């Protein structure tokens, strides 16, 4: 038994060229024999059994042919074969006289495609290292078995009509881009097996890409976790001006990071084969469509043709998602612009009739929240030091001189106060902030800071109404600021209390 701490290299896996149709029994038997001999160099065995799970159900023995006479109860995936079920089959074989048996299901992505059983007459021959090696063999042959099962279910290459008809139901029923493209991936998988299916639209900044295929709904670019920077994936450099992309083995390609889309693959795997097409709609680039697998050299020329056909079908749908989301954003902006004058009128009336600054700021926050998706409002006010401010929250009743001075040099707030930036929007997964100056007589006396929950809640399109609000509030703030900065009055001596 090999030391589990000394991992063995993966044996050479023979390729199975499936051709245009399903490989016949002789081809599969020859491939099985070559595979058994290759594995036997690193993993000696007396029995090397391999079953395929065809799309119609059941288990199909690939080899050895003589094992069919034993009518072993091969576990079937419902939806998966558990370790207990695989071990139960191994126990039956062990009772037949084999001293060491390893049995495990073969998975491609989330689908069971076959079952592998290796047995030796020698007791205790297989330990942890041998089991790990056999698991690597199962992962290596999984794409081959997946292709066979897909060819069995769809022996003819998919046509545009076939893909369109199968996508029609998903087109109507899917409620989000993520749901629709998951169904599209399933449809494509019947003729083109893959582990990664990505739809990337141009991101919010030049060179960035957004994973529309993983987007749960709402305006695109709203989830920063789905944004891929140019430094991580340069699609335009990768395609190099061509309409299609084919990478036979990404292991030595520095343009593709080893952990790219790793969350879509089994632990420890990376993309080895990659196909891509540029998706256009109405004469412009709509997206890039990528499919990939963890085995090199998996795809053929006809697979790229199939992917191109799918891209032509998906182009209008991708455009529809983007345009619908942009329309919702425009509607929101239009509502804000239409309601802004009424809100500003109420703010002006409130400031003119409210004597207490604490009450005025509380009501200002309420009015702002009714105008914009704002969770928090803060007034950053300069007193004496140009690089320090006091932060006044709505309803704050303390004297400003008693509030701590906060340094702002080098911060987004400091850039606005110094005039380096007219306004600043900062975004993170949890909060988005918009900062605009409080201007009085050509001077910046402070800043209005609005914060919204989540990414993209407040954006550059909100700057105009927020700046109008700040300009309305600024004179009121300046009156209070000057009163705070006035020295305390000195009483005549005869009025002083001893």
Nearest-angstrom CA–CA distance, 278 and 148 = 28
Sign for the pseudo-dihedral over CA of 319, 324, 330, 334: positive
- The pLDDT score that the predictor gives to residue 20 is 47
Nearest-angstrom CA–CA distance, 233 and 201 = 13
* Average pLDDT, integer, range 52-78: 84
Q: Read off the pLDDT of residues 301-345 as tens digits, 9 standing for 90 and up.
A: 888 888 888 888 888 888 777 776 666 655 555 555 555 576 677
Q: Read off the pLDDT of residues 381-415 as tens digits, 9 standing for 90 and up.
A: 998 767 889 999 999 888 888 889 899 888 999 99
- The pLDDT score that the predictor gives to residue 6 is 47
- Which tokens go with 442? 């050509």
Sheet containing 196-202: which strands, arranged edge to edge? 227-228, 209-211, 196-202, 284-293, 273-281, 244-247
Q: Assess contact for 134 and 43: CB atoms under 8 A.
A: yes
- The pLDDT score that the predictor gives to residue 28 is 83
Q: How far is CA 397 from CA 194, 393, 403, 431, in A?
A: 62, 9, 10, 26
Nearest-angstrom CA–CA distance, 84 and 103 = 10
Q: Distance between the two ends of the chain, CA-based, in angstroms? A: 99
Nearest-angstrom CA–CA distance, 384 and 381 = 10
Q: Read off the pLDDT of residues 264-310 as tens digits, 9 standing for 90 and up.
A: 777 777 888 889 999 888 778 888 999 988 878 778 888 888 888 88
Burial 372-396 (b: 16+ CB within 10 A, else e): bebebbbbbbbbeeeebbbbbebeb
Burial 197-224 (b: 16+ CB within 10 A, else e): bbbbbbbeeeebbbbbbbbeeebbbbbe
- The pLDDT score that the predictor gives to residue 487 is 62
Q: Assess contact for 133 and 10: CB atoms under 8 A.
A: yes
Q: Percent of the chain, pLDDT > 90?
A: 12
- Beta strands at 227-228 and 209-211: parallel, antiparallel or unpaired: antiparallel
* DSSP code at position 438: E
How many CB atoms neighbour CB 262 within 10 A? Answer: 15
Nearest-angstrom CA–CA distance, 330 and 115 = 54
How many CB atoms neighbour CB 129 within 10 A? Answer: 17
Q: Assess contact for 432 and 454: CB atoms under 8 A.
A: yes
Q: Which domains does the chain have, with CATH numbers?
A: 25-153 (3.30.450.40), 160-326 (3.30.450.40), 354-485 (3.30.450.40)
- Which tokens go with 178? 């993520």
- The pLDDT score that the predictor gives to residue 98 is 92
- The pLDDT score that the predictor gives to residue 21 is 53
Residues 6+ apart with CB under 8 A from 137: 10, 11, 13, 39, 43, 116
Q: Is the pTM of this model over 0.75?
A: no
Q: Assess contact for 237 and 255: CB atoms under 8 A.
A: yes
- The pLDDT score that the predictor gives to residue 430 is 76
Nearest-angstrom CA–CA distance, 340 and 337 = 5
Q: Assess contact for 230 and 275: CB atoms under 8 A.
A: no
Contacts 24+ apart (CB under 8 A), 251-254: 251/296
**Helix (H) or strand (E) segment spanning residue 389:** strand 388-392
- The pLDDT score that the predictor gives to residue 216 is 80
């Amino acid at each position: 038994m090999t030391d589990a701490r000394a991992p063995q290299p993966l044996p050479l896996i023979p390729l199975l060229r499936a051709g245009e149709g399903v490989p016949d029994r002789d081809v599969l038997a020859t491939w099985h024999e070559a595979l058994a001999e290759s594995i036997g160099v690193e993993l000696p065995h007396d029995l090397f059994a391999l079953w395929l799970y065809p799309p119609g159900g059941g288990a199909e023995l690939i080899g050895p042919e003589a094992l069919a006479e034993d009518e072993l109860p091969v576990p079937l995936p419902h939806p998966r074969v558990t370790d207990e079920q695989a071990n139960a089959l191994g126990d039956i074989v062990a009772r037949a006289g084999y001293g060491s048996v390893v049995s495990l299901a073969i998975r491609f992505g989330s689908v069971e495609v076959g079952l592998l059983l290796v047995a030796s007459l020698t007791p205790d021959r297989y330990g942890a290292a041998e089991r790990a090696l056999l698991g690597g063999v199962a992962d290596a042959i999984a794409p081959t078995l997946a292709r066979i099962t897909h060819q069995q279910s769809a022996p003819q290459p998919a046509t545009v009509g076939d893909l369109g008809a199968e996508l029609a139901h998903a087109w109507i029923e899917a409620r989000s881009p993520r749901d629709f493209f998951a169904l599209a991936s399933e449809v494509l998988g019947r003729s083109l097996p893959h582990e990664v299916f990505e739809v990337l639209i141009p991101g919010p900044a030049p060179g960035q890409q957004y994973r529309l295929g993983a987007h749960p709904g709402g305006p695109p670019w709203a989830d920063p976790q789905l944004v891929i920077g140019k430094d991580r994936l340069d699609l335009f450099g990768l395609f190099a001006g061509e309409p299609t992309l084919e990478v036979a083995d990404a292991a030595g390609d520095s343009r593709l990071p080893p952990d790219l889309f790793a969350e879509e693959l089994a632990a420890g795997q990376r993309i080895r084969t990659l196909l891509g097409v540029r998706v256009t709609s109405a004469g412009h680039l709509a997206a890039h469509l990528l499919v990939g697998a963890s085995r090199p050299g998996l795809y053929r020329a006809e697979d790229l043709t199939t992917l191109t056909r799918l891209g032509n079908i998906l182009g209008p749908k991708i455009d529809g998602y983007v345009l619908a989301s942009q329309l919702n954003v425009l509607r929101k902006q239009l509502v804000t612009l239409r309601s802004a004058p009424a809100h500003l009128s109420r703010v002006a009336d409130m400031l003119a009739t409210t004597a207490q600054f604490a009450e005025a700021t509380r009501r200002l926050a309420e009015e702002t929240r009714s105008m914009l998706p704002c969770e928090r409002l803060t007034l950053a006010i300069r007193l004496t030091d140009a690089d320090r401010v006091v932060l006044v929250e709505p309803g704050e009743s303390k004297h400003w001189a008693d509030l701590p001075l906060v340094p702002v040099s080098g911060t987004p707030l400091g850039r606005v106060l110094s005039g380096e930036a007219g306004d600043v929007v900062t975004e993170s997964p949890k909060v988005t902030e918009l900062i605009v100056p409080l201007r009085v007589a050509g001077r910046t006396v402070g800043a209005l800071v609005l914060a919204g929950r989540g990414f993209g809640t407040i954006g550059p399109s909100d700057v105009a109404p927020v700046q109008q609000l700040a300009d309305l509030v600024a004179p009121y703030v300046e009156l209070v600021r000057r009163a705070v900065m006035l020295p305390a009055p000195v009483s005549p001596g005869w009025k002083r209390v001893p």
